C-alpha cells in the first residue's frame, strides 16, 4: 500500500511543479475585494521587466513585487485600469504590456509572424512545383517504363 502511495506521489510531483507560483504576497492583498480583483486582472496583463516571459502576478522578482504594489497604490488613488496602464507605459514603454498595441515600431513585430508564414508557404509551393516539373518522364523513359512493366 505504501508503494502505491509513493508511486502516486512521484507521479503527481512533476504536475504540481508545473503549476504557476502565485507570487502575490499576503501583505500585498488589498482589503477591498473589488479593488483586489482589478489589481489581479491588471497584474496578469503586465509583463515582468526582469523575467520578460511572465506576468507580474506570477513573477517572484523584486521588480514584479514593486510593480504589483504600484498597481495597487494607483488603484487606491482612484485611477482607472487604463490610467494605471498608461502610467506604467509612460515609465517602462509598451514592453511592460503582455499584449502591446499595434502602433509605431510594434507593427514590425505584429506583421513579422504572418509575413514569415506566407514566405514559408511560398517557398513550399515553389519547391513542390519544381519537384513535380523535374519528375516528369521523357518519351524515352516512358517507353522504357512500358517495356519493363509489360503494358
The alpha carbon dihedral of 100, 104, 110, 116 has a sign of negative
- Residue 11: HSE in the Cβ half-sphere, 13 Å Cα cutoff: 6
What global pTM score does this model have?
A: 0.57
Average pLDDT over the chain, rounded to an integer: 82
In this prediction, residue 89 has a pLDDT band, given cuts at 50, 70 and 90, of very high
Amino acid at each position: 500500500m505504501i508503494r502505491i502511495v509513493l508511486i502516486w506521489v512521484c507521479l503527481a510531483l512533476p504536475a504540481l511543479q508545473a503549476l504557476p507560483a502565485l507570487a502575490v504576497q499576503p501583505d500585498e492583498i488589498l482589503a477591498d475585494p473589488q479593488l483586489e480583483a482589478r489589481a489581479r486582472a491588471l497584474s496578469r496583463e503586465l509583463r515582468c521587466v526582469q523575467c520578460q516571459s511572465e506576468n507580474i502576478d506570477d513573477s517572484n522578482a523584486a521588480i514584479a513585487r514593486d510593480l504589483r504594489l504600484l498597481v495597487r497604490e494607483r488603484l487606491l488613488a482612484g485611477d482607472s485600469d487604463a490610467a494605471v496602464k498608461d502610467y506604467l507605459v509612460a515609465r517602462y514603454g509598451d514592453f511592460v504590456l503582455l499584449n502591446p498595441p499595434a502602433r509605431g515600431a510594434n507593427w514590425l513585430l505584429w506583421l513579422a509572424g504572418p509575413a514569415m508564414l506566407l514566405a514559408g508557404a511560398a517557398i513550399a509551393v515553389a519547391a513542390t512545383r519544381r519537384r513535380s516539373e523535374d519528375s516528369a518522364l521523357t518519351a524515352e523513359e516512358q517507353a522504357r517504363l512500358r517495356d519493363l512493366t509489360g503494358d
